[in-house]
A and B are shown apart, each in its own frame.
Chain A
């Protein structure tokens, strides 16, 4: 279960990547997962940005296949599947462009 306060604090950092364009450094397709991450399989990646920062996150494919060096853009999406008592967690995923 997520702490709403910790979630709010974390988002201030995470949302800096909204709409930013970066490149995939490496990626994987996950077939097993920790509690609360919903539908399988899904793609995750480590994304590098022009300012040298890196950020891990799930990929939004929309029919495209990821590659190392593929360009992505930070977008807001729901993260995982909350249980009844949990907050609905929105955060940054990376959409292939």
Chain B
């Protein structure tokens, strides 16, 4: 697979009270088109990833909302796959171009979450969990807390180890002006923050956020005429599924869909986990980043936390993870996240990530989960 990324753009993530869902879609979409240096009339199809607009913005007809805001009349498809909506939208855009029917595609991930009270947001998010889990009084942090407790029981990690991804990602976000929380927090501050669902604490949880991100993708045949410099290509796009509910899985500490999607992606790109220079992984809660490092084949089972301890996943380390600040500190407007991860890797590979720019990069991977991993999407990008 070889798909050219011509344009990439992310809005500021955060509590954006002066911006509607339509405003966010407009800013991200027009930003990516501008970055691609093409006329918007060239775009032949668009995809929009979003989870909660029906519940939180009273709007389900997002294809038409996108068309209205960007002034385009092409087919637009809305994708919903919980927190993986953005990643699946990118995957569908790749498929559209691979099919040969379209040369240019626009993909936008957008979410507006802060117009409503937190219990409404929380119950909207829980529609991504199994019915038995909803009935059982779980929140998403509660479900990930089950995973975290089992991980602490089965392996030699401590509660302090759970804080390390959050502290690292806040440090990365302190170099990212588009992050929701562009400031560092210490392990001590994380350990002192309120317990939300034992053993997970407030500062180990991704926030409620508004934001959008967008990409312009193209068939490399037509992209060769494009003026953009430092071209980046998507060389693998892979999606896999596992059961909706944790109760239907063999293991609590392994997300099978992540394993399947990444194995297929490595095969597509013709490389392995050792070839990766950087990753953006789905750290909705701190434990999720640790498990992702294992499921993606980079570390052995039960050893993901060691990479967090020895610093090799930090900026300046051997293989930085979540240079954007991740979901934890860059923010998690759920439908936007999977697209933002690709935007971050594109910016890094194009050497335009500012103070958080890593050096010597060749291959980047994005990993986006829906729910507790019922859906997983992996993309690999190369210069």
B-contacting residues of A (Cβ < 8 Å)?
10, 14, 25-37, 42, 44-46, 53-58, 68, 79-80, 91
Contact = CB atoms under 8 A, between A and B. Distances in A.
Contact of B135 (A31, A32, A35, A91): A91
Nearest to B146: A26
Interface stretch (B156-164, B222-230, B241-249): B241-249
A33 B141 CA distance: 9
Contacts, number: 100
A26 B132 contact: no
Contacts of B118: 32
Contacts of A42: 137
Contacts of B353: none
B247 A56 contact: yes
B195 interface: yes
A54 B137 contact: no
Given A10-B131, A46-B146, A56-B247, A30 B138 contact: yes
A80 B195 CA distance: 21
Contact of A29 (B134, B198, B247, B252): B198
Interface stretch (B46-54, B119-127, B326-334): B119-127
A49 B247 CA distance: 11
B346 interface: no
Candidate in A26, A45, A58, A80 with the most chain B CB atoms within 10 angstroms: A26
Candidate in A27, A42, A46 with the most chain B CB atoms within 10 angstroms: A46
B135 A29 contact: no
B247 A54 contact: yes
Nearest to B132: A56
Contacts of A79: 135, 137
Interface residues of B, number: 37
The 8 residue pairs across chains A and B that have the minimum distance between CB atoms: A28-B145, A34-B123, A56-B136, A54-B247, A26-B146, A29-B198, A26-B150, A35-B123
Contacts of B199: 28
B142 A30 contact: yes
A46 B252 contact: yes
A49 to B, nearest CB: 11
Candidate in B118, B138, B195 with the most chain A CB atoms within 10 angstroms: B138
A1 to B, nearest CB: 11
Nearest to B127: A34
A33 B136 CA distance: 11
B196 interface: yes
Contacts of A56: 130, 132-133, 136, 138, 245-247
B350 interface: no
A30 B197 contact: yes
A44 B122 contact: no
Nearest to A36: B123
A31 B119 contact: no
